[in-house]
Chain A
């Protein structure tokens, strides 16, 4: 079997490379350990400044309540809005809370009357302004502040009236009750690892052989192109499977994250996805002859694929045209399935739409790759 010799060669080259074996081991660890801990969307350390015009025990209680929240840091008190705004401009403060005078008095009356308090409007007694340069921190921070204050007000109301409020809102987050970012991100990071190891590394390897001229030597041998390409892909398929297995292990070891669904589902989905990204990589290697061009197009693709696939932002909140583009990305379906298997314990039957989409994409990409490869000069 010719392919045995070729695969042997690939493995020798892979492990002789100074960089690749280290990358393969380090990648899942770095991606799974450092990223979910450091880079997350939870908002912490919201710095806020309070302008208290009321100076009542009530306003002080609100201020204390805000300062006591673990996500908040009370930067200080200010006399005027201008002063506070200045702090925002210096990036020292993210949220300004303004408590107007007569809060306590009017509130007591209002509560006694109908139990309603308005927040956030111009004529309101409490005004919250957020710095939106970092829009996530700003808006999330402001939301936290509003939540804390309204919780406080509700409590006060209960204390005053000793009655149940007519309407109580309580939320329950299904599947990820504590809304932990890492439960959400860990399955998604596996996707990125597979895209790079099974999609981009073999493509770069083929382009590298083109650049060094070795491929010319292979082309004059009776080795079939299909065999040659398979010999490039198989080692990376094996490595990719090992790396995600390490990934599952690391996720369990560090975060105790274990999929609710079974591993067979995970591996079948992973393999469908691996075939998709391999096809994508082959297409790139067919159309680009130098490392530089191939790398550039890969960065470009990876950015678009990641941002449009719902990895970082909710897919459904993209505009419709964006969703159409996102639907072309195999990453979307794999990320969805991985999250579903991990957090909801979804089965093959539940994931039928994703499986069908992945199969369609993999057929299209690989057929295209084969045809573009056979086009002779």
Chain B
């Protein structure tokens, strides 16, 4: 069932001089899956994710995202993915609707579709009244929800989330993960990095990166059984504890 895989990674590496940020990783992500991409700081998660978003070129190996090769078809991939960075990155001096309209327009949506879908989206987010509010005056939790909604507004095949819930309160985090699961149910694949191990439990499958390599990859339950522990937190300690690299990538 090769067709079901929306991300296929084969022996992907990225070196900076002698430093192997990503060292020969291989994995697949299925359509509609919530895939947790875990690892300690400096393990190479962000570097790997940047390659999959066609932001940086691999040193060796190959990867296919949404059916296209990251080395030869970066723009085809970019049109088919959504991305939400760990740094809030909507325009603060544009209103809620203007941000939605801008990114909808960038992805080539029709003006009429933008208008209609934006109204539906704002209603779902319960932000209809904030339509013309400048984004900078929204609370952080709302901003994150909005950023996520904008990232999937153009109906991408895959959405990449880079530590989306940093600095957000537990209630908003839960609400955020409900949104993620709802999104995955519509067939959009979610590729998410996080440091919260309780969030890892929501994922269909998780991979754990250590020193640029994938040290473990399975469903959260299988990993817990394998390491004979109760929570993903303990799995993380057992695997990431062996890391030789510290922070500072």
Interface residues of A (CB under 8 A from B): 2, 4-6, 8-9, 12-13, 16-17, 212-214, 216-224, 376-377
Contact = CB atoms under 8 A, between A and B. Distances in A.
Contact of B106 (A2, A12, A213, A376): A2
Contacts of B27: none
10 closest A-B pairs by CB: A5-B105, A213-B87, A220-B83, A217-B89, A222-B79, A222-B78, A213-B89, A221-B106, A220-B53, A222-B75
B94 A216 contact: no
Contacts of B160: 220
Nearest to B92: A212
B93 A16 contact: yes
B103 interface: yes
A220 B94 contact: no
A221 B85 contact: no
A221 B57 contact: no
20 contacts: A5-B106, A6-B102, A6-B106, A9-B91, A9-B94, A13-B91, A13-B94, A17-B93, A212-B87, A213-B88, A213-B89, A214-B91, A216-B85, A216-B89, A217-B85, A217-B89, A220-B53, A220-B78, A221-B107, A222-B108
Given A13-B91, A216-B87, 7 more contacts: A2-B105, A5-B106, A212-B92, A217-B89, A220-B54, A221-B103, A221-B106
Contacts of A8: 102
Interface in B185-241: none
Interface residues of B, number: 28
Nearest to A2: B106
Contacts of B145: none
B192 to A, nearest CB: 15
A377 B56 CA distance: 6
Contacts of A213: 85, 87-89
B81 to A, nearest CB: 7
Contacts of A12: 93-94, 98
Interface string B34-54: 000000000000000000011
A223 B106 contact: yes
A16 B92 CA distance: 11
Contacts of B83: 217, 220
Nearest to A14: B93
B75 A9 contact: no
Contact of A212 (B78, B89, B101, B106): B89
B55 interface: yes
A9, A12, A13, A218 pick with most chain B CB within 10 angstroms: A9
A27 B78 CA distance: 41
Nearest to B55: A219
A212, A216, A221 pick with most chain B CB within 10 angstroms: A221
Contacts of B106: 2, 5-6, 218, 221-223
A78 B101 CA distance: 79
A217 B159 CA distance: 13
Contacts of B107: 221-222
Nearest to B88: A213
B78 A221 contact: yes
A10 to B, nearest CB: 10
Nearest to A215: B89
B93 A220 contact: no
A219 B89 CA distance: 12
Contact of A13 (B79, B93, B103, B105): B93
A17 B134 CA distance: 12
Contacts of A9: 91, 94, 98, 102
Contacts of A2: 105-106, 108
Interface string B103-139: 1011110000000000000000000000000000000
A220, A222, A376 pick with most chain B CB within 10 angstroms: A220
Nearest to A4: B105
B120 to A, nearest CB: 20
Given A221-B78, A222-B107, A5 B87 contact: no
A363 B194 CA distance: 46
